[in-house]
């Protein structure tokens, strides 16, 4: 039996990764470590939380003593590190929590792994899940490669870039068996409605304005979350130590085109006349330092490990919209209380 630590498993991507590993690998004990910030929600895992190969530990990766204690207790064979502060807008208004969790928290985990594994690293793996935002912003052409220089522009991406550098440094300096992936924008069920797609679905359903930053011309490369989870599974088991793999959907959309597509899908599903929801589109003040375009070249993971996205975007969006419409309670729960205050502060001044 292998014991695997997944950090941030109550969040959006983490919950899909935990579910996949718990169901697919009954001979692994999956320990989900999450401090349950506003973005962590154990409801995301209620279908698997009684399974014998799953354990939840509420804990903060910023607490180094706790990390050492947990590694000592469980003697983890592998780590999939997803816990992070993940929202760019929040990093603009409150950078410090990003510095703490994304940089210091990552180093606490690296130290704990190093301390337990020492030089017995055969079969061990520290997998750091990162973002394409570390590469900065593209112009109208070109793609991010694994060799593209880092040029992060927001406090969020700078904190993720720092953590990537530290993970590599622990490999080079201490031979820690690490692997890193940098993925493009994910979408799908269970994403917190501060991010563009669930925010738009929530607002359209409630006939509220859909805030589009600037002119809506920024471009993102969207990947369905379960395709990301499949890539993570593959890299964890077959990736090479010390390597980086880019993961992306080859699926670029301007924000405004994506929102129009979402409006059309929701008009159909909600029985509204075509064009109704588009009337909710509202242009607001741009995000500070807003990256123009992200686009991933995923040739390396495709050629070396045989991964490629399984879903077309239209199908993924349909599944996503269906999930949010079928789970209004989930959205209502997370969109209440503290989130309402955040929303008011974030959008009323724009
Ligand atoms: P999320 O914000 O939905 O979830 C983050 C989880 O981490 C939450 O459950 C939260 O409670 C937990 N967490 C936060 N701080 C913690 C701490 N100090 N200790 C323990 N747990 C803590 O994030 P997500 O969108 O699922 O992203 C997961 C990872 O994937 C992040 O590292 C992010 O940088 C990376 N990533 C995200 C995307 C995307 O499009 N969402 C794309 C590429 C990479
Ligand atoms: O590229 C990977 C990254 O994708 C991840 O590392 C981040 O964790 C994740 O949050 C995401 O970052 P983005 O900033 O690209 O995602 P977000 O959903 O916040 O915004 C997507 C685009 O939509 C971006 O150009 C900003 C714009 N936007 C966003 C919001 C919340 C709007 O126009 N209006 C909005 O209200």
The ranges assigned to domains in the chain are: 2-187+223-247, 196-219+252-288+312-341
Alpha-carbon gap, residue 130 to 128, rounded angstroms: 6
Q: Ligand 1 mean position to 40 CA, how many Å?
A: 8
- Ligand 1 near 186 CB (within 6 A): yes
Helices marked H in the chain: 12-24, 64-74, 88-93, 95-98, 106-117, 155-174, 196-205, 225-238, 255-269, 299-305, 313-326, 328-334, 338-348
Respond yes or no: is residue 133 known to be catalytic.
yes
Alpha-carbon gap, residue 224 to 164, rounded angstroms: 23
Alpha-carbon gap, residue 256 to 258, rounded angstroms: 5
Which of 13, 166, 193, 196 most suits a substitution to test ligand 1, by most atoms within 8 Å of the C-beta? 13
- Ligand 2 near 154 CB (within 6 A): no
Respond yes or no: is residue 286 known to be catalytic.
no
**223, 183 Cβ separation under 8 angstroms:** yes
Alpha-carbon gap, residue 346 to 350, rounded angstroms: 7
Which of 188, 190, 216, 220 most suits a substitution to test ligand 2, by most atoms within 8 Å of the C-beta? 220
Residue 317: which residues within 8 A CB-CB, separation 6 or more? 187, 197, 261, 262, 265
| Tens-binned pLDDT, residue by residue, of the chain (350 aa) | 899 999 999 999 999 999 999 999 999 999 999 999 999 999 999 999 999 999 999 999 999 999 999 999 999 999 999 999 999 999 999 999 999 999 999 999 999 999 999 999 999 999 999 999 999 999 999 999 999 999 999 999 999 999 999 999 999 999 999 999 999 999 999 999 999 999 999 999 999 999 999 999 999 999 999 999 999 999 999 999 999 999 999 999 999 999 999 999 999 999 999 999 999 999 999 999 999 999 999 999 999 999 999 999 999 999 999 999 999 999 888 888 888 888 888 998 77
Q: Which ligand 2 atom sits nearest the alpha carbon of residue 194?
A: 31
Q: Which ligand 2 atom sits nearest the alpha carbon of residue 210?
A: 36
The tokens describing 230, both together, are: 């499949």
Of residues 156, 170, 224, 324, which has the active-site annotation? 156
Give CATH superfamily name and number for 2-187+223-247: NAD(P)-binding Rossmann-like Domain (3.40.50.720)
* Angle at which helices 313-326 and 196-205 cross, to 10°: 50
Give CATH superfamily name and number for 196-219+252-288+312-341: UDP-galactose 4-epimerase, domain 1 (3.90.25.10)
Alpha-carbon gap, residue 2 to 236, rounded angstroms: 13
């Amino acid at each position: 039996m292998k014991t695997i630590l997944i950090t941030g498993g109550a969040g959006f991507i983490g919950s899909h990764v935990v579910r996949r590993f718990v169901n697919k690998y009954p001979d692994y004990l999956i320990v989900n470590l999450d401090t349950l910030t506003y973005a962590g929600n154990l409801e995301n895992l209620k279908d698997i939380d009684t399974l014998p190969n799953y354990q939840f530990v509420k804990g903060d990766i910023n607490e180094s003593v706790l990390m050492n204690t947990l590694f000592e207790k469980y003697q983890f064979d592998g780590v999939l590190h997803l816990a992070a502060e993940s929202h760019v807008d929040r990093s603009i208004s409150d950078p410090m929590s990003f510095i703490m969790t994304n940089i210091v928290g990552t180093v606490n985990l690296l130290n704990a792994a190093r301390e337990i594994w020492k030089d017995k690293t055969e079969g061990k793996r520290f997998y750091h899940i990162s973002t394409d935002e570390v590469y900065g912003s593209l112009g109208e052409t070109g793609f991010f490669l694994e060799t593209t220089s880092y040029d992060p522009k927001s406090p969020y991406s700078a904190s993720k870039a720092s953590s990537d550098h530290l993970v590599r440094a622990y490999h080079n300096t201490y031979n820690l068996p690490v692997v890193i992936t940098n993925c493009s924008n994910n979408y799908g069920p269970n994403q917190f409605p501060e991010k563009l797609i669930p925010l738009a679905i929530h607002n359209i359903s409630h006939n509220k304005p859909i805030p589009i930053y600037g002119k809506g011309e920024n471009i993102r490369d969207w990947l369905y979350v379960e395709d990301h989870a499949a890539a993570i599974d593959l890299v964890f088991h077959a990736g090479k130590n010390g390597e980086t793999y880019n993961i992306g959907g080859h699926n670029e959309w301007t924000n405004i085109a994506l929102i129009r597509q979402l409006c059309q899908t929701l008009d159909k599903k909600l029985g509204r006349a075509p064009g109704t929801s588009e009337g909710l589109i509202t242009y607001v003040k741009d995000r500070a330092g807003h990256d123009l375009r992200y686009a991933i070249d995923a040739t390396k993971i495709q050629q070396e490990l045989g991964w490629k996205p399984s879903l077309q975007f239209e199908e993924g969006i349909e599944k996503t919209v269906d999930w949010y419409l079928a789970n209004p309670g989930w959205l209502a729960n997370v969109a209440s209380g503290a989130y309402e205050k955040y929303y008011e502060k974030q959008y009323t001044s724009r």
